[in-house]
Structure 1
Amino acid sequence: MNKKNIIIGLTALVATMQPKITVANTLATVIDSADVTKPVAPLVPLDMQRVAEVAAMLPLTPQGFGDTYHNRLAWGKLYSNVKYHKVISTAEALLNKPFPAWNDAAYLMYFTKGTRPEGEKMMGNRLGWLAPLVWAECLENKGRFVPTIQMVLNELIHQKSWSLPAHDKKKQNIDGRNYTVDLGAAGFAHNVAQAVYLLDDKLTPQLRADVLAEMEKHVFKPVLQSVATGNNNSYWLTVTSNWNSVCLAGVTGAALAIIPDREERGKFVTIAERYAKNSVAGFTNEGYCTEGLGYYDYGFSKYILLRENIWQATNKTINLFADPKIKRIASYVPNLEIINNVYPNIADCHVGVKAPAALLWYCSRNLGLGLQKYDSLTFAGGTATLTDDVMRAFPNSASQSKVNSNTSALAFGLRSYFKQAGVLIERPLAGSKANIGAALKGGNNNEIHNHNDVGSFSVVVGDEMLMGDPGGPSFYTAKTFGPERYSYKLLSSYGHPVPLVAGVEQQEGAASEAKVLNATFTDKQDEFVMDISSAYPVPALSKLVRTFTYNRDDAGFLTVKDDFAFKTNQKFEFTLITRAQWKQIAPNQIEFDGKTQKMIATISTKSGFAVKAETIVEDAPAFKRIGIVLPPAEAGAITVTFRPVK
């Protein structure tokens, strides 16, 4: 689920949807594997003794991020920065516009046509009014935005559903039969509660009471019932995907900002303290995120928000960064970089996904990562949300931390080998002529937000990805997470740079797993060999070994070789995936032209081959699939070598 498509509600912040551990030398750090699919904290009744302990740590009154509008010194300091003036103009423009109406038909489009953007956009347009109006009122403090804010809050809390259509199973939320918390409802609640906290007595007592009552109905009561009874309505408590941290951050943040009773707030902090462990369990012990960089940003950013909220609320007593694994998770992004700020589009990542600067700033300063590029960042003028942006605008654990001056604390190596995930990131020697990097993926076909991509690879020349994983869809549909998921070429192995074997694509499931046969690394050359035969349900297949060889000499090159064998004559097709322009410049060579970079693929096989190409367009930027088709045979091999054009 990519941020941009699953919670379109949080003021254009999120929507449906959305790694390397090396040291300064040339060897990658490898951490032993562990099972990351099972929750480490199963659902159990609340520990009331712990609730009492936690409640005693909390302030007497609810508290959100930052200071309420009453602190004119703090808000005046922000107002003196012209970067914040833009939000006042944005809020002024809303005063003369009609508030977006709730639209049943748009919400129900998911159920009638299987499409998600209509309902999510409708809900997002409504919630999108809240942040600029509240920011403007707190900055300016003249009261002129208050009537509109009260109207918006009243409209929002009484809308039929707080949950996104795709997560409203059997339309129970919109029909008012049962309320459940999803990604949308959690973020919605947190932003509404934060607004009430910041504005305090600018809002009428009746509206504040109504907000709390609706919050109880839509969010707090459903979660407490799930914990008490073990029902599956809040199943995200025990999942290991981004849902866990996103929902916990929203629910806990809302509770801390609006619930008057300290013990009640303590219940939600206790719940978060326990079940956030499942989010951490969703990463490999190396810190790798199988959901891909887009969802890593989405999920771990909310884990950070949850951590900061609880850290502040308990006066630095409860620290969700205490687990040493967190530092490895925080190191995922800098270690995932291929070269020149280019990252692989593994899983449902959008094309061109980049490093999340705010996340790296927070982690580097809190965990001493030594990321100078991010340590000195400032976020003045950010007003997209009332949660994340207010947190960064006011003193927090990151802004108050000492910067680690040891720049080698997290130095790049020649490679990042995530052994448990079966992912290898390849880089040239610093200062060499080599201008090529690669991401090589083994793994399995049962990963979160999985694509059937065992054996996939991506090639970067300069600052352009000229070959590789096409990334995920721009928008989700009802089919995306159902039994027809892999009917999309974008998500199936057909749309990835992996073989088509006897005309058969890879199958989903954990049994489709790359078995690493060899991983030999030197400064000059790395060899990464994997058996990927289990991914193909082809009875005649007896051997399929893919060998990656990354060489750092001169301009560098990557070789991908497939050795295969069948019990009977069968077809074999090597696949190239690209968004660059391409042309066959020789019988055995294909040239790929990017915006400024070029690469030549040289194909070697004893049996000859034919080239079959097509353009694939499926709710994502179009890409080309180039099949290198070998004639039927019982056994054979094909080698493709990628070299930059100087």
Structure 2
Amino acid sequence: MNRKFIAIGLGCLFLINAVKAVASNLAGPDTADITRPVAPLVPLDRQRIGQIAAMLPALPKGFGEGYQNRKVWDSLYHNLKYQKTIKIAEGFLNKPFPAWNDEQYLLYFTKGTRPEGENMMGSRLAWLAPLVWAECLEDKGRFVPAIEMVLNELIHQKSWSLPAHDKKKQNFEGRNYTVDLGAAGLAHNIAQAVYLLNDKLNPQLRAEVLKQMDTHVFSPVLRSIAAHNNDHYWLTVTNNWNSVCLAGVTGAALAIIPDKQQRAQFVAIAERYSRNSIAGFTDDGYCTEGLGYYAYGFGHYILLRENVLQATKGAIDLFADAKIKRIATYAPNLQIINDVYPNIADCHVGTKAPAAILWYCSRNLGLGLKKYDNLTPGGSTVNLVEDMMYAFPNSASRAQVSPQASALAPGIRSYFKDAGVLIERPDITGKGGMGAALKGGNNNESHNHNDVGSYTIVVGNELLMGDAGGPNFYTAKSFGPNRYQYKLLASYGHPVPLVAGIQQQPGAAAQAKILSANFSDKQDEFVMDISSAYPVPALSKLTRAFTYSREGAASLSVTDDFRFTESKPFEIALITRARWKQIAPDQIEFDGQKEKMIATIKTTGGTFAIKSETIEENAPAFTRIGIVLNPAVAGSVTVTFKPLTNKKL
């Protein structure tokens, strides 16, 4: 089971596969927020803190059981899933620990590159989980010296924050400490290690860990709230930063702070400000950040929920909001066909529904997702927090499976009305047929690609046309004013028009106005006005109409109808990673590994030319095929896509 919450193939995988690239693909601090916070900064509620303190156990507690519970740990020791971890840990005993490297950390500031510094930090943290797992499993003390060395190295490294999030090198230079995605995860894993090993560790080291945790994490967050400063802006943002940082800070506090009243402060903070994370989803549960960041952000919301739920013995449940159930159904409803999903926003090619999230939500919320209900979690040992949560009983494993089968996808369509996104599926059985994802939305969405009007087409189980997805890793240009210099991220690299040579503009004003959404069992029509996305004064009309027919193996027609106040050029783009060739003046054939598709082009108001360009920008190469119309005052262009089958097209 894929239980890596931090997906983000979007490589949004934080601490995955020995943590080669800690948060290398996580949101940069300049990522646009998609909505206003529902919980702005306010002073701590002392009355509420007292109430929460009464709910908490006398001693700090992380996920799972400490090493002293030999009945549990001996059982895990005999589980073959965990035997390999001891071998991995043994390998560390004869290796030098990865050194902190200033030069690699500072490459972000000198060259704008992120992987070097993040990989360096990740390689250090990668030692912790296997060593702690091995010691808890074996209980012989032979890994303790190495664990103490690793903990001492981690808590005293120059920065807990990732280079890209270290504004003006303030963490690196020790002038001011701030909590980012990296620091939150580091703190949570360190605290979890101390909780599990407890008296196996030197008392002086445990005291120093707590001191450094307070210096780098706890006090800075409390200062932000008290001083109303913006050091920890993630408290009030509505994207993945909110849930990820809250999960790390809260989990660390619950696992290591001795005083209940102090622990309760961070639960109160999580209880209030996690509401902003939920506000970031549209009311119908859609995640504008894409499937990879959904796995990362909502996955950490689940970690936070489970941590607080266990700590308060069920008294505080962050799943109480009715919107959570709609958010939980986002992934199954986003599936196009045959386990293929659109690469919207910074999502990586091939990202699948996060099985761990669907297992957890289906069992907790009674979704009836039979594919996921009976999965067996656990077995991974790369992240002390997530892995311990799944290796030990939790609310999902204790929940009764719903006897009702889910009414969720696949059906013939999923319509996220609030987001302006429509998923189309054929009315046929088996693996064949064509499905599509049609996107309206706006260009102020988090991890936005300026892609109003974009679409994706799947034939069989192959994505033959559509959004190329996000980059393999980020650079200093990935967030901020230079983001759209990348063709991959700009509208130029998407199947949307190029109007008078002008691309789509960022911002909330660039939005798809849905003009009609007429659905039937045989055919769906989805029409949107996308003219506001283009800062072209001469543009007086631009509508994009999608017509999806379920006849046979299905087909999709995309029609752009435009008008200018004076003659201007107009171009549309087809985006593909399939092989392609022009087989007629008005037809293009797309060849995947097994599937084929024909695109037929029809225009009014003039002729057209076809040009192509290969784009490779830190992502798998793709082809942009431009359908270039002669300059005109008005016109239209329709592209009809049909699977190439044995039947006559």
TM-score range, shorter chain: over 0.9
In the aligned structure 1, how far is the partner of 2:374 from the partner of 2:72?
A: 21
TM-score between both structures, scaled by the size of structure 1:
0.96
Instruction: Kindly state the Cα deviation for residue 592 of structure 1 after the two structures are TM-superposed.
Output: 0.5
Contact 1:9 1:184 in 2 (8 A): no
The 3 A distance-change label for structure 1 pair 293 and 433 is closer
The CA deviation string for residues 428-474 of structure 1, in whole angstroms up to 9 with x for no partner, is 11438960000000111111111110100000000010000000111
The 3 A distance-change label for structure 1 pair 560 and 511 is same
> Which residue is equivalent to 1:22?
none
In the aligned structure 2, how far is the partner of 1:364 from the partner of 1:491?
A: 34
The correspondence for 2:422, drawn from 408, 421, 424, is: 424
The CA deviation string for residues 531-580 of structure 1, in whole angstroms up to 9 with x for no partner, is 11111111111111110000000111000011111111111111000000
> Which residue is equivalent to 1:639?
638
In the aligned structure 1, how far is the partner of 2:343 from the partner of 2:295?
A: 13
> Which residue is equivalent to 2:81?
83
> Which residue is equivalent to 1:595?
593
Contact 1:2 1:16 in 2 (8 A): no
Instruction: Kindly state the Cα deviation for residue 6 of structure 1 after the two structures are TM-superposed.
Output: 6.7
> Which residue is equivalent to 2:579?
581
Percent identical among aligned pairs is 71
> Which residue is equivalent to 2:312?
314
Contact 1:7 1:184 in 2 (8 A): no
Partner amino acid for 1:373?
A: K
TM-score between both structures, scaled by the size of structure 2:
0.95
> Which residue is equivalent to 2:23?
15
> Which residue is equivalent to 1:494?
492
The 3 A distance-change label for structure 1 pair 398 and 6 is closer
Contact 2:525 2:547 in 1 (8 A): yes
The 3 A distance-change label for structure 1 pair 464 and 7 is closer
Map of 1:332-347 to 2, 5 A cutoff?
Answer: 332-347=330-345
In the aligned structure 2, how far is the partner of 1:385 from the partner of 1:584?
A: 49
Contact 2:12 2:293 in 1 (8 A): no
The CA deviation string for residues 368-408 of structure 1, in whole angstroms up to 9 with x for no partner, is 11011111111232112100110000010000000012113
Per the alignment, in what secondary structure is the counterpart of residue 624 of structure 1?
strand
Per the alignment, in what secondary structure is the counterpart of residue 264 of structure 1?
helix
Instruction: Kindly state the Cα deviation for residue 50 of structure 1 after the two structures are TM-superposed.
Output: 0.4
Aligned length: 630
Contact 2:285 2:328 in 1 (8 A): yes
Asked if 1:367 is matched to 2:365, the reply is: yes
Contact 1:439 1:459 in 2 (8 A): yes
Contact 1:574 1:627 in 2 (8 A): yes
Partner amino acid for 2:629?
A: L
Map of 1:61-100 to 2, 5 A cutoff?
Answer: 61-100=59-98
Instruction: Kindly state the Cα deviation for residue 121 of structure 1 after the two structures are TM-superposed.
Output: 0.2
In the aligned structure 2, how far is the partner of 1:561 from the partner of 1:99?
A: 59
The correspondence for 1:204, drawn from 202, 205, 225, is: 202
The 3 A distance-change label for structure 1 pair 524 and 434 is farther
In the aligned structure 1, how far is the partner of 2:81 from the partner of 2:265?
A: 39
In the aligned structure 1, how far is the partner of 2:406 from the partner of 2:169?
A: 53
Asked if 1:175 is matched to 2:173, the reply is: yes
Asked if 1:252 is matched to 2:260, the reply is: no
The correspondence for 1:513, drawn from 511, 514, 538, is: 511
Per the alignment, in what secondary structure is the counterpart of residue 605 of structure 1?
strand
Per the alignment, in what secondary structure is the counterpart of residue 360 of structure 1?
helix
Per the alignment, in what secondary structure is the counterpart of residue 180 of structure 1?
coil
In the aligned structure 1, how far is the partner of 2:382 from the partner of 2:405?
A: 32
In the aligned structure 2, how far is the partner of 1:511 from the partner of 1:526?
A: 27
Contact 2:12 2:296 in 1 (8 A): no
Partner amino acid for 2:23?
A: A
Partner amino acid for 2:613?
A: E
Q: Which moved more, 1:434-443 or 1:282-291?
A: 434-443
In the aligned structure 2, how far is the partner of 1:57 from the partner of 1:583?
A: 66
Contact 2:92 2:127 in 1 (8 A): yes
In the aligned structure 2, how far is the partner of 1:608 from the partner of 1:411?
A: 41
The correspondence for 2:356, drawn from 358, 365, 370, is: 358
Asked if 1:275 is matched to 2:283, the reply is: no
Contact 1:36 1:284 in 2 (8 A): no
Per the alignment, in what secondary structure is the counterpart of residue 571 of structure 1?
strand
The correspondence for 1:289, drawn from 287, 290, 303, is: 287
Instruction: Kindly state the Cα deviation for residue 174 of structure 1 after the two structures are TM-superposed.
Output: 0.4
The CA deviation string for residues 589-634 of structure 1, in whole angstroms up to 9 with x for no partner, is 1000111111010111142211110100101010000001111111
Instruction: Kindly state the Cα deviation for residue 229 of structure 1 after the two structures are TM-superposed.
Output: 1.3
Per the alignment, in what secondary structure is the counterpart of residue 601 of structure 2?
strand
Per the alignment, in what secondary structure is the counterpart of residue 526 of structure 2?
strand
Q: Which moved more, 1:602-611 or 1:47-56?
A: 602-611
In the aligned structure 2, how far is the partner of 1:58 from the partner of 1:407?
A: 37
